[in-house]
Structure 1
């Protein structure tokens, strides 16, 4: 890039004879035609406020149509927080259980869940199944992208809807059948 610029400047110098230039030969002088004035602090703030009113406002997310290209990205983060948060909460509770007198060992947990009504069991399974399957399947999609596979727009859209469909199918299967 620098060599191109040097070549262009050389061509400009060769095209305009030295006697037409208003500067010594071989020397480039930049001329600024803008005039500046010194203003007070308050006047400067007023000018700045007027300029800010004329600036365009960046569009807000509310004007954009939701697309399959950014919804899975948002839900992948959300499901990651839900799953890791649940794991941390249970891990800390399991560590604190002996001190607090809680019974979080497997037979106690099985007995507690067995006493729940069917609606509560199904709701708990769905609450865990949907984030788990979505995060896992979308993670495979991202791993494919890390390998450079599936970057065409149509492939991204198809893989996004495939992840959504497989998530619903597998989560419903494991919620009601598994």
Structure 2
């Protein structure tokens, strides 16, 4: 969770690396001025909103916080993302535009690579939502729900339905309902780790 300016900058740097962008280069800034990368804009706004919510939410900063909330909502609607703040760790990589719905009670670790048409949420009106570890690849159309835990270095295949815990590290999950398919090396799917 972002709790200082230092962690805010670290999250931004990790997100840029996860997206494969050299966000500090002049070339990227010039190209982004004329041809904006909307996913980067979304993630940058998400992290700034988290920073202002967690660290600078008093006085005049409160006004800027509300402006960021408005800007975040606007870009979220444009891209089809329903992602609350303080859910993802550093190194988030959203691969494509498209519907992504995440419950605010979910917690997802660092280096998550997530695709379109993914839902992560509670089940049966209960408030508990999935707790997902580090270095997790979530394929297009995956549905993850309930009071469950997912371990580290896990790949969840396209259209998988995960409704029970899988705490073993380094495995591939697939199917409806999801099952362990085999052991995997997550570095083949998430290149930057």
| Shorter-chain TM-score tier | under 0.3
Q: Which has the higher contact order (CA 8 A, sep 6+)?
A: 1
- Normalized per residue, the structure richer in strand is 2
Higher CA-based Rg: 1
- Normalized per residue, the structure richer in helix is 1
